[in-house]
């Protein structure tokens, strides 16, 4: 089979290798689509300490089961599936207390073991979710990122009518936008430096879009909301600059979700006095423990529409270009191996 293989940082080769063998409790999935995510770029650049090289990356995938190992009766050959890439131990205190996304023994398909940028991938059946009828496999490749966003939104518990700022209008920001609207947010404002992405945010229901390279976001929001800030801010960009921007737009008693992946060496200067005086809450959100089914439901019902997010469908041969950020005007790039 053809596979994209990273042996060391900034070195990706398309190789020919044997189709992997399955063990009892596993299935062989023929990959239909695998989304390119910021995490893949970090793995390629060698700044994802969690990743284990050499590796076939790719963790946002959909496909069809083509073989099953012994002791498998929950899926059959021919089933259309999507994959929860995060395999947890089930035994640690996090796994046993409904916080399995914090499992210290976690293995992740496409991060610590071979993933979906290949024609075939081996998946333990605990990680497989059947794709509901009516949902295309292109859309099903978004299940994991939608599940992660759902986890973040759940941690924020947005109350009906609360105004929300989303910083970043990449695929994650645009999913958060739709989820925030669905959970009853008042006005949803999106800040983003790329005008093409801002236009799409507007189409997907943003009440106000702001470009921080031209405007002072806090001032524009203050004008739009007639003298107030937002109750909730979501960083869907990653790093200290968008976090500072988001924090500056919060009302007293506001909540900030740290969702975007910052580089490991990034540090964020904040004024403890501001957190204290305005009773601000900073909330982290890491992958998702149990949101895959809900994400599939939202995708299948159309409540979250990811079709407009697909900007490019590429082959494995163009993956390295994507990881080098050499493809212009992207929202979500899907790879069809």
State whether the Cα torsion 5-7-8-12 is positive or negative: negative
Task: Please give the distance of CA 308 from its chain centroid, rounded to a whole number.
Answer: 16
Shortest Cβ 210–Zn ion spacing (Å): 26
For tokens 């994991």, the residue is 144
- Nearer Cβ to Zn ion (37/299): 37
Long-range contacts of 263-267 (CB under 8 A, 24+ apart): 263/42, 263/47, 263/238, 263/239, 264/47, 264/49, 266/239, 266/240, 267/240
Asked if 33 touches Zn ion (CB under 5 A), the answer is: no
- Nearer Cβ to Zn ion (89/270): 89
- Nearer Cβ to Zn ion (199/312): 312
Angle between helices 292-301 and 143-156 (to 10 degrees): 110
Asked if 175 touches Zn ion (CB under 5 A), the answer is: no
Q: What phi and psi values does residue 214 have, to the nearest 5 degrees?
A: -115, -25
Short-list 97, 98, 151, 155, CA closest to 281 = 155
Shortest Cβ 259–Zn ion spacing (Å): 12
Cα 307 to Cα 208, 218, 331, distances in angstroms: 22, 31, 11
- Nearer Cβ to Zn ion (145/186): 145
Element spanning 26, H or E: strand 26-35
Shortest Cβ 40–Zn ion spacing (Å): 7
Q: Which stretch binds Zn ion (CB under 5 A): 39-47, 149-157, 273-281, 308-316?
A: 39-47
Cα separation of the two ends of the chain? 10
- Nearer Cβ to Zn ion (61/166): 61
- Nearer Cβ to Zn ion (95/257): 95
Shortest Cβ 39–Zn ion spacing (Å): 5
The angle formed by the CA atoms of residues 187, 198 and 315, to the nearest 5 degrees, is 130
Shortest Cβ 248–Zn ion spacing (Å): 28
Number of residues that bind Zn ion (CB under 5 A): 7
Shortest Cβ 287–Zn ion spacing (Å): 9
DSSP-derived letter for residue 289 is: S
Asked if 37 touches Zn ion (CB under 5 A), the answer is: yes
Shortest Cβ 47–Zn ion spacing (Å): 15
Taking CB under 5 A as the criterion, which residues in 208-247 touch Zn ion?
A: none
Shortest Cβ 45–Zn ion spacing (Å): 15
Element spanning 43, H or E: helix 38-45
- Nearer Cβ to Zn ion (157/263): 263
Taking residues 74 to 113 in sequence order and writing x for each that binds Zn ion by CB under 5 A, - otherwise, the string is: --------------xx--x--x-------x----------
Binding residues vs Zn ion (CB under 5 A): 37, 39, 88-89, 92, 95, 103
């Amino acid at each position: 089979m053809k596979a994209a293989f990273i042996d060391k940082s900034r070195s990706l080769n398309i190789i020919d290798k044997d189709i992997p063998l399955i063990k009892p409790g596993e299935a062989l999935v023929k990959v239909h689509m695998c989304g390119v995510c910021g995490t893949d770029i970090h793995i390629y650049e060698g700044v994802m300490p969690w990743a284990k090289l050499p590796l076939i990356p790719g963790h946002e995938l959909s496909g069809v089961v083509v073989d099953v190992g012994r002791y498998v009766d929950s899926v059959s050959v021919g089933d259309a599936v999507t994959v929860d890439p995060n395999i947890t131990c089930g035994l640690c205190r996090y796994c046993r207390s409904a916080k399995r996304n914090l499992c210290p023994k976690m293995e992740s398909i496409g991060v610590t073991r071979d993933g979906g940028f290949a024609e075939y991938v081996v998946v333990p059946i605990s990680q497989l979710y059947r794709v509901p009828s009516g949902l295309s496999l292109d859309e099903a490749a978004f299940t994991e990122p939608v599940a992660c966003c759902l986890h973040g939104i759940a941690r924020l518990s947005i109350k009906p009518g609360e105004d929300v700022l989303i910083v970043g209008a990449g695929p994650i920001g645009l999913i958060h936008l739709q989820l925030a609207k669905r959970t009853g947010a008042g006005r949803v404002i999106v800040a983003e430096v790329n005008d093409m992405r801002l236009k799409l945010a507007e189409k997907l229901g943003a009440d106000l879009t702001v470009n921080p390279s031209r405007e002072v976001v806090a001032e524009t929001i203050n004008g739009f909301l007639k003298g107030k800030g937002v109750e909730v801010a979501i960083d869907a960009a990653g790093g200290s600059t968008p976090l500072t921007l988001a924090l500056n737009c919060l009302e007293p008693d506001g909540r900030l979700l740290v969702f975007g992946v910052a580089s490991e060496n990034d540090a964020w200067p904040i004024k403890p006095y501001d957190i204290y005086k305005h009773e601000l809450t900073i909330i982290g959100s890491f992958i998702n423990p149990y949101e895959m089914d809900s994400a599939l439901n939202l995708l299948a019902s159309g409540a979250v529409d990811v079709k407009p997010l697909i900007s490019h469908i590429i082959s494995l041969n163009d993956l390295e270009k994507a990881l080098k950020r050499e493809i212009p005007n992207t929202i979500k790039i899907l790879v069809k191996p």
